[in-house]
Amino acid sequence: MESEDHSMVDAPNGVTQPQLSGNAEDAFGIQPSKEDTDMVAEEFEPEEGWEELNSVKRRGLLPTGVCYDDRMKLHANADFGHAPHHPEDPRRVEEIMKTFKKAGLVFTGPDTELLDILRNTPIKYMWRIVAREATKQEICTVHTAGHYDWVQDLSNMSTKDLRNLSHTLDQGRASLYVGAMSYEAALLSAGGAIETCKAVASGQLKNAFAIIRPPGHHAEYDSPMGFCLFNNVPIAAKVCQLEYPDTCRKILILDWDVHHGNGVQNMFYQDPNVLYISLHVYQNGEFYPGKPDNPMLPDGDLDKVGEGLGKGKNVNIAWPDQGMGDGEYLAAFQKIVMPIAHEFNPDLVIISAGFDAADGDELGGCFVTPPCYAHMTHMLMSLANGRVAVCLEGGYNLKAISQSALAVARTLMGEPPPQMGMPPLSKEAARVLARVQAVQAPYWECMRPGIIDIQEYGDGATRLHDVIRGYQRQILSQKHGMVPLFIQREALFKSFENQVLVTPGIQTKRKVLFIIHDPPELQAMPDVTDNTVDPHNAFTLDGVMNYVDWANKNDFGVIDANVPHYITHPEDIDPFTPRADEKTLQDQIRELVCYIWDNYLQLYDVEDLFLLGVGNAYLGVKVLLTNRNCKNRIAGVVNFVTGNLRPVKSETDPDLSSWYKRNSLVFVANDHACWSDEELAKKVSKKRFGRVKRSNQVGLNRMMEEHAAEVHEWIGERLSQDGSGNTTEEDGK
Ligand SMILES: [Zn+2]
């Protein structure tokens, strides 16, 4: 076998120390002796009594390791005729090693210089870790003997049989190919991972990178899967735990491959001493590896947290879709990965380093850049005394994996990660992180601030928006004698109890103000240490109240309809509930305003009916105007808008938009997006949006306060003095 990078040392068994060499061509393996490190350390010795500081220094002077063996390229597809360009290409490992050499991370000079390098600049280059074949005993720490035998048998099969087997295995979830040398390559890959992790766990090396293939993280305890034969990282983790029971008890496996490492998860699902954190695309179970055939087995969803003693030791950061990038990965590290990892406090960190989330990898479809990989590595190096072992998993764009791996290796060697800004985080990803936090909160102290278990409170918990509405009802009842208006509904929920309040004797009023508004704004100053909110540090701002007072003073009948952002259901168990979506909101509002129109307003003898829409709920104004032929009975419309601008138009009534333009006053917040460019601002001036005015204020309450006098005056001018004039014919002010 002619291969330049094949180390010719006899493979040591699993118990002996790994051999380290300064370069690829070195066939003897040189260990960094105690003398070597002492010599260097002495030069920096400041004074006596600094032993502690000195020992820290010495760890920093340990070299970074790299494990590579050309023979791992020999795992190739026997079914070469059918799929000549399989993404799990043997060149993947070679490209990474070449890139390391080109970048000067691995020594390529003559052997004669080696001794000088070892003495003078031992950490200038990566130290070579010799890959060896893993033993059956090591592999069977996580795999069944039956699975080991199955892989071993591959080396005894005929080419024809291998080709047929590859063809079969390539289908569906198994997604695998095999060849005559697959068994040997898989043994080396697992053995390389073992030696790499052991060299780091034992403290011989500062940290290390294993450039290995075939990858491992999809391989199950009893079967191969997803380009993976033996699950390298779990094997290495188990061997380290067995060989260094005192110093390597707790291990963090951080998997940033774009696919979920189902095999790793399942092998440690009940293990309290191995924390598995995976960042991967989930796509509701559609993205590989998807859901297992057995529905009882856990998949990569974020609610899969481990079982028994292992509860909380499995963290799935499951992205809703492809397209994630630096912003999402850095946020996941800052908000979830690092807080949990620090609380776990591992003795060793192993990175299952697939680079298929890298920018440029078509299979992954994500956009993680090399600087981001450097930062993630750097953060992980703050754990476990810096004992970080990186093991290659997937990643199929040769350029992307080489550059990403290079960024990781440089960081391991001590180069500071490149400066980068914090890119924006997508809303969907932010929601996923919040859900992961909520799901993990029972198991991790650091995930708890801000998470409430409302089930624990039972009937004692009332959502604040219902409390506030109850309070508003009391105030409006005391001040103006207002009472709830009966609304017939199919189901009665708490949020409906006080939803619509009216002044007494409204049916006899000549003037009526119908207010459709959002719940009042809530502001709170949470305690910065634990996120709790004291009632005395929380405030409600209710700009509507002044308008109700004004209307009552001026002898208007008032209908006050509160549109909650969410309808409280008794079976709610989620402490955080997003606002109702547009469709739900529209259905709710239509039901409400049409009921009020059909059963009350339409029947009243009102001369001057005004609509006041506040916030998101101003959708109700549009819904009423477009669903009921009522414009001739409405004297004017006033809206305060901070969110979506709603067009009012009708196919059956072509005059509706121009009527709306003439008879409305629509205040739009000063910071609204529609003012951001000329095109949009021009669009807003169209009839269907009404008479839009840019407020000089932001926020509903400040806007309502600012324009109160103007609105009062405008309404006053539109009132029919003698009850005979048709105000709707007048043009606006
Ligand atoms: Zn992958």
Do 550 and 500 belong to one domain? Answer: yes
What's the total number of domains in the chain?
2
pLDDT for position 384:
97
Using a pLDDT cut of 70, give the percent of the chain over it.
87
Q: Residue 123 pLDDT > 60, yes or no?
A: yes
Do 382 and 475 belong to one domain? Answer: no
Residue 57 inside a domain? The answer is no
Distance 173 CA to ligand 1 centre (A): 13
Ordered DSSP codes for 192-239: HHHHHHHHHHTTSSSEEEE--SS--TT-BTTB-BTTBSS-HHHHHHHH
Do 438 and 477 belong to one domain? Answer: no
Do 557 and 471 belong to one domain? Answer: yes
Distance 352 CA to ligand 1 centre (A): 10
Q: Work out the average pLDDT over 345-358.
A: 98
Which phi and psi angles does 21 have, rounded to 5°? -135, 155
Distance 257 CA to ligand 1 centre (A): 5
CATH number for the domain that contains residue 702:
3.40.50
Do 392 and 474 belong to one domain? Answer: no
Q: Which of 161-165, 549-553, 576-580, 642-646 has the highest mean pLDDT?
A: 549-553
Q: Residue 368 pLDDT > 90, yes or no?
A: yes
Residue 483 inside a domain? The answer is yes
Distance 256 CA to ligand 1 centre (A): 9
Q: Residue 54 pLDDT > 80, yes or no?
A: no
Q: Work out the average pLDDT over 347-353.
A: 98
Q: Are 45 and 54 in contact (CB under 8 A)?
A: yes
Distance 259 CA to ligand 1 centre (A): 4
Do 391 and 470 belong to one domain? Answer: no
Residues around the ion ligand 1 (C-beta < 5 A):
257, 259, 354, 356, 394
pLDDT for position 676:
87
Domain C-terminal end among 397, 421, 447: 447
Distance 396 CA to ligand 1 centre (A): 9
Do 420 and 467 belong to one domain? Answer: no
Do 494 and 398 belong to one domain? Answer: no
Residue 173 inside a domain? The answer is yes
Residue 14 inside a domain? The answer is no
Report how far residue 384's alpha carbon sits from residue 348's, in angstroms, rounded to the nearest whole number: 5
Do 437 and 504 belong to one domain? Answer: no
Distance 434 CA to ligand 1 centre (A): 25
Distance 174 CA to ligand 1 centre (A): 14
* DSSP alpha helix (H) spans, 45-173: 51-60, 91-102, 114-120, 136-139, 145-153, 159-169
Do 435 and 473 belong to one domain? Answer: no
Do 623 and 689 belong to one domain? Answer: yes
Domain C-terminal end among 447, 474, 492: 447
Q: Give me the catalytic one of 143, 218, 260, 480.
A: 218
Catalytic site includes residue 259: no
Residue 15 inside a domain? The answer is no
Residue 36 inside a domain? The answer is no
| Domain ranges, residue 432 | 20-30+62-447
Q: What ipTM describes this predicted complex?
A: 0.99
Q: Give residue 334's pLDDT band: very low, low, confident or very high (50, 70, 90).
A: very high
Distance 433 CA to ligand 1 centre (A): 21
Residue 55 inside a domain? The answer is no
Q: Work out the average pLDDT over 255-278.
A: 97
Structure-token pair, residue 601: 């307003």
Q: Residue with structure tokens 């050499």? A: 101
CATH number for the domain that contains residue 400:
3.40.800.20
pLDDT for position 29:
39
Do 350 and 418 belong to one domain? Answer: yes
Report how far residue 6's alpha carbon sits from residue 8's, in angstroms, rounded to the nearest whole number: 6
Distance 394 CA to ligand 1 centre (A): 4
Domain C-terminal end among 414, 447, 480: 447
